Amino acid sequence: MIHHSKILIVDDDPTNIAVLTDILSPEYETFAVKSGAAALKWVSAGDPPDLMLLDVRMPDMDGYEVCRRLRGNPLTRDIPVVFVTAADAAENEAMGLALGAVDYITRPFSPAIVKARVSNHLELSYARKASEDRYRAIFAGTSDGIVIVDSQGRFIEANDAFCSKTGYTRRELLTMSIPDLDHGESAEQRKARLELAEPLGDGLFETEHVRKDGSTFPVEVHTRRIEFDGRSATLAVCRDITRRRQAEEERDRYRLELEKLLARRTRELREKGGAPAEMERDLKRRRGFLNIVGKSKAMQMLYSRLEVLAELSSTVLITGESGTGKDLAAEALHYGGGRSRHPLVRVACSDLAENLIESELFGHVRGAFTDARQDRIGRFQEVGKGTLFLDEIGDIPAQFQQRLLRVLEKRTFERVGDSRPIRMEARIVVATHRNLPEMVRLGLFREDLLYRLKVVDIHLPPLRDRREDIPLLVDHFLSLFGKEFKKELRGVSDAALRRLMTYGWPGNIRELRHILENAGIFCKTGLITEDDLPGELESGVISGRLAGADAAWGMEAIRCALEEAGGNKARAARLLGISRRTIYRRLEKQTSDDDPEKV
């Protein structure tokens, strides 16, 4: 039984009002009006009843019209209406139920029936409201705007975030439909600005929301069909993507600048010395950039990007599998530009304890927390005007991502326990082997932080995609280890190189380095053979001896093998683990492709 519920009795007969009040007043708070107009005025005053007993036959405005108007107003549409009628008029029940009434009671009144039906419908109403309250509790727990829209595009529910972002109150929104959000715009503008263009099904799209003041902001809208309060509706989650758009615009601006710089550098190289062809060949033959080694086409493109980006201050995201040399790319960005006079500070995000990450990066003042016995300078302050390299950025805790985003946007930070802002002058370079877009999809990484970090991105290819660089890397590492071990390492045998060239390299360059270091230690003759290599290289050989390797080896790899073999095609074939006929066939095909007249 529901106590303290408000019951509004609407009847032009004082006797009926008196009888119903007498039946209900011991348990409920009852109010009465004598006309439909008075009832509508009463409920629109802002304190609607929990249930309405509505007479069907009244002068001026009958109960059916009152019910129709109640259902047409979002603020009153959920009030349970029980029609009151004479027993001989019960055949009109269907009409009242079609208008949205929940039940009928007939005169003469049975106190037991009146009490039972009022109690049942109040119980149902409160259960429905409790369900809606749970919806609202879920809505309140997110920063995204959430609305529920009926099949005619009218708002049924809206959370606080949606109200805050659009500038409308929930009460205002519940009297509106989707097209009403084009405040102050023409019909043509309305068509372009509609945030939710039509009754929605399941989907995902981007559009613009229009605030109450007429300004707009971009949103990503996820929609899903649901059942709400017994009717078909659409739940729309509206995510503000202003930051993403700004980051995209900034990224596009930097990319345009990068392309211009690359074009200018290429032009300068062509003009230098009056021998453009030679200069282009010299550029293509570049075997490394700072400590990065490789002469493949992918690495040449990487060197050009690093060379230009080293002079810029934009945030750079470096991606690539573990062992591809992301730390070397970060060093190249730092030491290749004007910040090389300042520190390069590397932070391994995966090594930071969650409870100390803010102190580690931003520092703290004495007494900020237990064991904070003295002031501490964090990495952001330590680096000064240098480069802060945040390695494995995908491993930072979710609760810290918002703080990092705010620092990147405002370029200021505060030490833990201190409210004084400190200006950040460092360049930020981040790296990860994780798939950040997939982490965003799974809710593990903030989307706005990803777009803030991805102003310019650099991807390092895995070693299996640049096999032509393996002989060069082998020579590089053996030279290093020969000096370190104080022994002559003359190279690797043809069979050993073939094994290295055909292995899958899941650990990339790091794995190659470790294998050569181990082989260099135990090599007795100075020439590393197959016996000096670990057994897993045999099991990791790609497709045996690469039978039918026409698709597996490109011309860059063949040219590299020919260079290592001094032009000897038979030795180059052995290095690659393919037949000599395959090399001849690929060379002939390349010649015909270069000279169409020979085709």
DSSP assignment of 463-498: GGG-GGGHHHHHHHHHHHHHHHHTS---EE-HHHHH
Look at residue 402 in the predicted model and tell me its pLDDT: 87
User: How many other CB atoms sit within 10 Å of the CB of residue 168?
Assistant: 21
Predicted confidence at residue 286, as pLDDT, reads: 54
Could you read off the pLDDT tens digit of each residue along the chain, which spans 599 residues? 445 788 999 999 999 999 999 999 888 989 999 999 999 988 887 778 989 999 988 888 988 899 988 888 877 888 899 998 876 555 566 777 778 788 888 888 888 889 888 988 888 888 777 766 666 666 666 778 888 888 888 888 888 888 888 999 888 888 888 777 754 444 554 454 444 444 445 677 778 888 888 888 888 888 888 877 667 888 888 888 887 788 777 777 777 776 777 677 666 656 654 444 443 444 444 555 677 888 888 888 888 888 888 888 888 999 999 999 999 999 999 998 889 899 999 999 888 887 788 888 988 888 777 777 888 888 999 999 999 999 999 998 888 898 898 898 888 988 888 888 899 999 999 999 999 999 988 888 988 899 888 888 899 999 988 988 999 999 999 998 988 888 889 889 988 888 898 888 888 999 999 999 999 988 888 899 988 888 777 655 433 333 333 334 456 567 666 766 677 777 777 666 566 777 777 777 666 655 544 33
d(CA 287, CA 354): 41
Handedness of CA 139, 145, 150, 151 (dihedral sign): negative
- Cite the DSSP H helix spans in 141-226: 160-166, 170-173, 187-193
- CA distance linking residue 200 with residue 204, whole number of Å: 10
363, with CB counted inside 10 A (0-12, 13-18, 19+), is buried
**Domain ranges in the chain?**
6-127, 141-240, 246-459, 465-594
Q: Give the homologous superfamily in CATH for domain 6-127.
A: Response regulator (3.40.50.2300)
**Which pLDDT score, from 0 to 100, does residue 87 have?**
60
Contact 323, 511 (CB under 8 A): yes
Whether the model clears a pTM of 0.75, i.e. scores above it, the answer is no
Q: Show the tokens assigned to 199.
A: 């009754």
Among 55, 38, 37, 157, CA closest to 101: 55
**pLDDT at residue 578, as a whole number:** 64
Q: List the CATH code of the domain at 141-240.
A: 3.30.450.20
- Domain 465-594 = CATH 1.10.10.10: no
Rounded Cα gap, residues 298 and 147, in angstroms: 48
CA distance 316 to 334: 11
- Residues in the chain, how many? 599
CA distance 375 to 378: 10
What local confidence, expressed as pLDDT, does residue 321 receive? 92
Token pair, residue 388, equals: 């802060």
Q: How far is CA 293 from CA 245, 290, 477, in A?
A: 36, 8, 10
- CA 290/CA 336 separation, integer angstroms: 8
| Alpha carbon distance 21, 525 (integer Å) | 109
- Paired strand residues for 146: 237
Strand partners, 9: 32, 53
What the block records as the tokens of 553 is: 């080896």
Containing H/E element for 128?
A: helix 111-140
Residue 388 backbone phi and psi in degrees, to 5 = -100, 115
Taking alpha carbons only, the member of 176, 234, 228 closest to residue 204 is 234
C-alpha dihedral, 269 to 273 to 279 to 280, nearest 10°: 60
Dihedral sign computed on CA atoms, order 170, 174, 175, 176: positive
> Which of helix, strand or coil describes residue 429?
strand
Helices 580-594 and 569-576: angle between axes, nearest 10 degrees: 110
Helix and strand numbers, DSSP H then E, in the chain: 25, 23
Element (H, E) at 451: helix 447-453
Distances (CA, A) of 391 to 318, 328, 336, 357, 491: 9, 11, 19, 14, 33
How confident is the model at residue 515, as a pLDDT? 92
CA distance 283 to 361: 40
Say if residue 461 is preceded by a cis peptide, omega within 30 of 0. no
Token couple for 433: 């082997």
Q: Are 582 and 588 in contact (CB under 8 A)?
A: no
Q: List residues bridging with 147 in a β-sheet.
A: 158, 236
- Angle, helix 242-271 to helix 276-284, in steps of 10 degrees: 130
Q: Can you tell me whether residue 189 is helix, strand or coil?
A: helix
Amino acid letter, residue 140? A
Q: The domain 246-459 belongs to what CATH superfamily?
A: P-loop containing nucleotide triphosphate hydrolases (3.40.50.300)
CB 469 within 8 A of CB 294: yes
Asked, colleague to colleague, whether 6-127 and 465-594 share their fold, the answer is: no
- Rounded CA separation 382/385 (Å): 9
How far is it, in rounded angstroms, from Cα 544 to Cα 540? Answer: 9
